[in-house]
Amino acid sequence: MTCPRRRPALRAVGLVTAALVGLGPVALAGSAAAVEPERSTALTEPPPAAVLPSTTSPEYFDTPRDLTGCPYRTSPPAPVDESEVPLPGQTSPAPLPVPESPVGGDALAGCVVVAPDGFEVSRDVTASAWMISDLDTGEVVAARDPHGRYRPASLIKTLLATVALDTLDADRVIEVTDEDLLGAEGSLVGIGPGGQYSVDRLVRGLLMSSGNDAALVLARRMGGVDKTLEAMNAHAAGLGAVGTHAATVNGLDGPGMMSTAYDLSLIFRDAMTRPGFARVVGTEMSGFPGYPAGEGAGAPDPAAAPALTGPTTRADGTVVNPGFVLANDNQLLYNYPGAIGGKTGFTDDARHTFIGAAERDGRRLAVVLLDGTRVPASPWEQAALLLDAGFDTDESVGRLVTGPPAGPGAGTEHLASGPLGSVGTAAQLDPSSTRGSVLVRYGPWLAVGAAGLVVVAGAVMALRSRR
């Protein structure tokens, strides 16, 4: 079956596009840009009856869901395509167990808005689930359906980046092969065979441009996709993200893929304790190498005037794709005073997802949105509205938990009381390193808090288009 509205593989064109059309930094096309997906391609099969209107109509992407009765307490909304059909011989993982008591506090139990008195939620905020939290104290300022399970799309790359930064030397240079790129589809940063990229550059392509090709290259340098998924899920479990299961390393939909606004707040908060991560998500523009390596393929200086160059041919006949300037696809960075980073995401099943963070008067807040729409406001604009409301109050309704629940019914026993340290640091998957193994790092966490966590077995299924 052809995935509905399959997005072509897009490569970054950086400042060249901006120079041609005279756009400012907000419109830079440094990646597969955040464009509302086309809606003219008909499905070859009808979507399941349980979902919203057919994806052949704009209403599917623009209609908020009815959360009466908290329908997504155990599993995400029904998929609209075959992205979550398991491969022959495999089965879909069972939904993760739901804690008896809501992690983070009793106020976070429901799926309606929970907020301090006087907190006003704009009607333009239409995401099914969202959470505002303090990056430093761990306090939850306000939330809607914080433990409801939805698909994270590319927000899961936050978890992959954490594992990669804890596993690989940021200065290590990787020469990419054709095999490294097998299965890369959807939004691509523009990695090519023969190119040489430092781990830091790959993380930039992963987070700034949401590069699915960068995700696969990093995973294959950490022992393969399956081992990387094990490490990602172990890290999530160690943090206490008990509603999160990564089915793919890049956020494309797969059997059992799910997370929550609460879990992603926890995961992002942990990631932001790593200087390398915080620096990348807060970067507006960065040079990115072309391929194959050598003369003409270097990463350009983002501050330099854009050069209108295309592929060149060396004396030996080798065609060189030149380096380019990568622009961060997080529009909050360009439009919201004090913005310090975030991540964008989109798949047909996940709809729009977003993380944004900002600092004001020494206070750092982050907001996560899941299962969102672009009408009446885009995800970054909805995030901005929630951040404004969050900065206007100094009260809270719960707190992020640091570490797995202590046992059945655990809810607030391990509350964050200050800046988050290195909790559940990622497993070392690279056999050439001496940082330790998955079992060494995660055995204690898994024994306590990961019962019931089902890890993806076998190859990742056919991936679907994403943003």
Contacts of 143 (CB under 8 A, 6+ apart): 108, 113, 114, 115, 129, 130, 131, 132, 261, 262, 397, 398
Which tokens is 60 given?
Answer: 């599917």
pLDDT attached to residue 429: 55
pLDDT tens per residue, range 99-136: 999 999 999 999 999 999 999 999 999 999 999 999 99
Give the whole-angstrom CA distance, residue 381 versus residue 31: 20
pLDDT averaged over every residue in the chain:
80
pLDDT attached to residue 83: 86
Tell whether the torsion through CA atoms of 301, 304, 310 and 314 is positive or negative: negative
Q: Whose structure tokens read 């072309």?
A: 290
Cα dihedral: 404, 407, 409, 412 (round 10): -40
Which tokens is 434 given?
Answer: 């001496």
pTM score, whole prediction: 0.79
Confidence category of residue 62, pLDDT binned at 50, 70, 90: confident
Residue 326 φ/ψ, nearest 5 degrees: -95, 130
Question: Is residue 393 within 8 Å of 400, Cβ to Cβ?
Answer: no
pLDDT attached to residue 419: 41
Of the two residues 161 and 46, the one the predictor is more confident about is 161
pLDDT tens per residue, range 321-362: 999 999 999 999 999 999 999 999 999 999 999 999 999 999
Is residue 227 part of the annotated active site? The answer reads no
pLDDT attached to residue 409: 38
Confidence category of residue 90, pLDDT binned at 50, 70, 90: confident
pLDDT attached to residue 214: 98
DSSP β-bridge partners for residue 277: none
Confidence category of residue 8, pLDDT binned at 50, 70, 90: very low
Active-site option among 83, 133, 154, 209:
154
Q: Whose structure tokens read 């310090």?
A: 340
Q: Which of 36-45, 158-167, 173-182, 363-372 has the lowest mean pLDDT?
A: 36-45
Is residue 210 part of the annotated active site? The answer reads yes
In our burial notation (b when 16+ CB lie closer than 10 A, e otherwise), range 380-395 reads bbbbbbbbebbbebee
Contacts of 400 (CB under 8 A, 6+ apart): 104, 133, 138, 139, 140, 262, 265, 266, 269, 415, 416
Give the whole-angstrom CA distance, residue 181 versus residue 402: 35
Active-site option among 31, 83, 128, 157:
157
pLDDT tens per residue, range 24-57: 333 333 333 333 333 333 333 333 433 444 554 6
Q: Whose structure tokens read 């807040």?
A: 365
Give the whole-angstrom CA distance, residue 163 versus residue 430: 11
**Max avg pLDDT among 199-203, 404-408, 413-417:** 199-203
In this structure, what DSSP letter does residue 180 have?
Answer: G
| Euclidean distance between the first and the last CA atom of the chain, given in angstroms as a whole number | 20
Helical axes 199-208 vs 157-167, angle rounded to 10°: 170
Of the two residues 15 and 84, the one the predictor is more confident about is 84
Is residue 154 part of the annotated active site? The answer reads yes
pLDDT attached to residue 82: 87
In this structure, what DSSP letter does residue 450 have?
Answer: -
C-alpha distances in angstroms, 451 versus 116, 227, 413? 34, 18, 18
Which tokens is 310 given?
Answer: 């295309």
Give the whole-angstrom CA distance, residue 265 versus residue 276: 18
Give the whole-angstrom CA distance, residue 298 versus residue 292: 10
| Mean pLDDT of all residues in 196-202 | 98
Q: Whose structure tokens read 């975030």?
A: 342
In this structure, what DSSP letter does residue 95 have?
Answer: P
Q: Examine the pLDDT at 9 and tell me if it is beyond 70.
A: no
Q: Examine the pLDDT at 396 and tell me if it is beyond 80.
A: yes
Give the whole-angstrom CA distance, residue 391 versus residue 377: 20
Question: Is residue 191 within 8 Å of 213, Cβ to Cβ?
Answer: yes
For 156-296, strand residue ranges (E) read 173-175, 196-198, 285-288
pLDDT tens per residue, range 288-302: 999 999 999 999 999
Confidence category of residue 306, pLDDT binned at 50, 70, 90: low
Active-site option among 210, 259, 265, 465:
210
Contacts of 69 (CB under 8 A, 6+ apart): none
Give the whole-angstrom CA distance, residue 186 versus residue 189: 10
Q: Examine the pLDDT at 160 and tell me if it is beyond 70.
A: yes
pLDDT attached to residue 222: 98
